[in-house]
Amino acid sequence: MKFGKLDPQEVQPLPADAFRLPPDAPVTQRTLAHHANTWSAPTLRTGGTTWNIKAWRGTVFPLKAPQRTWPFHYGQAFDTIEYNATHYRIYSPEKMAAWAEHMPEHFRFCPKMPAIISHYRRFMNCEGPTDDFIDGILALGTKLGPTFIQLPPHFAPKHAERLVNYLKVWPMELPIAVEFRHPDWFSDSQEAEAVWDFLAQMGIGAVISDTAGRRDAVHMRLTAPFLLLRFGGCEGHPSDKFRLEEWAKRISSWAATGGLREVHLLVHQPDSILTPETCRLFRGLGGLRN
Q: Is the pLDDT of residue 288 over 90?
A: no
Q: What is the pLDDT of residue 286?
A: 63
Q: CA-CA distances (angstroms) from residue 101 to 95, 106, 135?
A: 10, 12, 17
Strand pairing class (176-179; 262-268): unpaired
Q: Is the distance from CB of 249 to CB of 271 less than 8 angstroms? A: no
| CATH number of the CATH domain containing 125 | 3.20.20.410
Q: What are phi and psi of 205, to 5 degrees?
A: -75, 160
2 part of a folded domain: no
pLDDT at residue number 9? 73
pLDDT at 7: 73
State residue 10's pLDDT score.
74
| Segment 92-107, tens digit of pLDDT | 999 999 999 999 999 9
Yes or no: say if 236 and 12 are a contact pair by the CB < 8 Å rule.
Answer: no
Query: Residue 11 — pLDDT band, cuts 50, 70, 90?
Result: confident
- Please report the pLDDT score of residue 62 as a whole number: 96
In a domain, 145, yes or no: yes
Residue 226 near residue 259 (C-beta atoms within 8 A): no
Query: Each residue of 105-149: pLDDT tens digit?
Result: 999 999 999 999 999 999 999 999 999 999 999 999 999 999 999
Q: Which of 2-6, 32-36, 169-173 has the lowest mean pLDDT?
A: 2-6
Mean pLDDT value across residues 22-34: 96
Going by C-alpha positions, the residue among 88, 126, 108 that lies closest to residue 47 is 108
Q: What's the average model confidence in pLDDT over 260-273?
A: 95
Confidence class of residue 243 from pLDDT cuts 50, 70 and 90?
very high
The alpha carbon of 156 is separated from its chain's Cα centroid by a whole number of angstroms, namely 20
Is the predicted pLDDT of residue 287 greater than 70, yes or no? Answer: no
**Which residue spans within 98-156 are E strands per DSSP?**
108-111, 147-150
Q: Output the pLDDT for position 138.
A: 98
- Residue 16 has a pLDDT of 67
Which pairs from 115-122 meet CB under 8 Å and 24+ separation? 115/87, 115/88, 116/90, 117/166, 118/149, 118/150, 118/151, 118/152, 119/152, 122/152, 122/155, 122/159, 122/162
The chain-wide mean pLDDT, for the chain, equals 94
Q: Which residue has the higher pLDDT, 212 or 266?
A: 266
**Count of domains forming the chain:** 1
- pLDDT band of residue 289 (cuts 50, 70, 90) is low
Looking at residues 208-234, what average pLDDT do you find?
95
- Its pTM stands at 0.95
Residue 160 falls within a domain, yes or no?
yes
Residue 111 inside a domain? The answer is yes
Asked whether residue 4 is assigned to any structural domain, the reply reads: no
Distance between CA 113 and CA 85 in Å, rounded? 10
Average confidence (pLDDT) over 213-218: 92
Position 13 scores a pLDDT of: 74
Range of the domain at 87: 15-284
Residue 182 predicted with pLDDT over 80: yes
In a domain, 7, yes or no: no
Whether 171 maps to a domain, the answer reads yes
In this predicted structure, the answer to whether residue 290 has a pLDDT above a threshold of 80 is no
Residue 133 inside a domain? The answer is yes
